[in-house]
Amino acid sequence: MINRDLAYDYPFDKSWLIAEFFECPIILAILKISLTSDISELRTKKQLSYQSELIADIINVEITLDDPEFNIRLEAANIFLNNWQKNLIYFFKKSQKSISTLLIKKFNGHVHQHTLSILKKITEQNHKLSNDLIELIAQFLFDHDMTIVTNTADILLYHVEYNLLSQNIVDMIERILQNRSDQDTLIQILRKCAFNQCILTEKTLITLSNLLFESTKEMRRNNIILTLEFADRNQQLPEVINNLLKYEYYVKILTNSVCENEAKDAEQQLNMATLNGKQLSKGILNSLQRLLFDSKRVTGILQILINVTSNGQNLNNSIINSLSDLISNQINQTDKVYLIKIFLQIIKNHQIVSDTFLLQLQKFINDTEVNTDVILIYTNLLQLNTSHINNDVISRIYQLLENINELDLELKRNLSNFVKLAIESNITSPNLELLTSLLNEKDHLMQSNAIQMIYYMVEIKGCTLTEKILACLYQINTDAKVLEILELLDRIQQLPANIIEQLQFINYRKLHENINLLNKLKWAVSHGQILLKHHFVELSNLLYLTKKEHRILASEILQILMTILCLWAY
Instruction: Give the start-to-end residue ranges of the domains of the chain.
Output: 4-42, 508-570
What type of residue sits at position 424?
E
Q: At what angle do helices 109-124 and 70-86 cross, to 10 degrees?
A: 20
Question: Which three-class secondary structure state does DSSP give residue 257?
Answer: coil
Task: Give the CA angle between residues 114, 117, 118 to the nearest 5°.
Answer: 90
Q: Is there a contact between 179 and 142 (Cβ–Cβ < 8 Å)?
A: no
Q: Is there a contact between 342 and 323 (Cβ–Cβ < 8 Å)?
A: yes
DSSP character for 407? S
How many of the other CB atoms lie within 10 Å of CB of 297?
18
Closest alpha carbon to 115 in 69, 152, 87, 75: 152
Query: Which of residues 109 and 302 earns the better pLDDT score?
Result: 302
Looking at 93-102, 196-205, 278-287, 379-388, which range is the least confident one?
Answer: 93-102
Task: Give the CA angle between residues 169, 143, 186 to the nearest 5°.
Answer: 45
The C-alpha atoms of residue 153 and residue 189 are separated, in whole angstroms, by 8
DSSP character for 442? S
For the chain, the distance separating the N- and C-terminal CA atoms, rounded to the nearest angstrom, is: 147
Q: 569: number of CA atoms within 13 Å, CB side?
A: 6
Listed in sequence order, the residues at least 6 apart from 501 whose beta carbon sits closer than 8 Å to its beta carbon are: none
Q: Is there a contact between 16 and 2 (Cβ–Cβ < 8 Å)?
A: yes
Q: Is there a contact between 538 and 511 (Cβ–Cβ < 8 Å)?
A: yes
What type of residue sits at position 522?
K
Whether 68 has a pLDDT exceeding 80, the answer reads no
Tell me the C-alpha to C-alpha distance, in Å, between residue 276 and each of 63, 208, 245, 296, 304: 68, 24, 17, 24, 11
Task: Tell me the average pLDDT of the chain.
Answer: 81
Alpha-carbon dihedral of residues 387, 391, 396, 402, nearest 10 degrees?
Answer: 120
How many of the other CB atoms lie within 10 Å of CB of 474?
16
Q: Is there a contact between 489 and 464 (Cβ–Cβ < 8 Å)?
A: yes
Percentages helix, strand, coil for the chain (3-state, rounded to 5) are 75, 0, 25
Tell me the C-alpha to C-alpha distance, in Å, between residue 214 and each of 58, 267, 373: 51, 22, 31
Whether 93 has a pLDDT exceeding 60, the answer reads yes
How many of the other CB atoms lie within 10 Å of CB of 288?
25
pLDDT single digits (tens) 183-231: 789 999 999 999 988 889 898 999 999 999 999 999 999 999 999 999 9
Task: Extract the runs of DSSP E, i.e. beta strands, from 273-425.
Answer: none
* pLDDT at residue number 570: 54
Task: Give the CA angle between residues 181, 183, 188 to the nearest 5°.
Answer: 110
One DSSP character per residue, 54-76 reads HHHHHHHHHHHTT-SSHHHHHHH
The C-alpha atoms of residue 211 and residue 207 are separated, in whole angstroms, by 6
Task: Give the CA angle between residues 367, 324, 293 to the nearest 5°.
Answer: 105
pLDDT single digits (tens) 463-505: 888 888 888 887 776 667 887 887 788 787 777 777 776 666 6
pLDDT single digits (tens) 338-394: 999 999 999 999 999 988 899 899 999 999 999 999 999 999 999 887 677 888 898
Dihedral-angle region of residue 314 (phi above 0 means left; psi in -120 to 50 means alpha; beta otherwise): beta
Q: Is there a contact between 107 and 75 (Cβ–Cβ < 8 Å)?
A: no
DSSP character for 406? G
**Where is 356: in which H helix or E strand?**
helix 355-361
pLDDT single digits (tens) 41-57: 544 444 434 344 444 45
Closest alpha carbon to 473 in 496, 445, 491: 496
Predicted TM-score (pTM) of this structure: 0.72
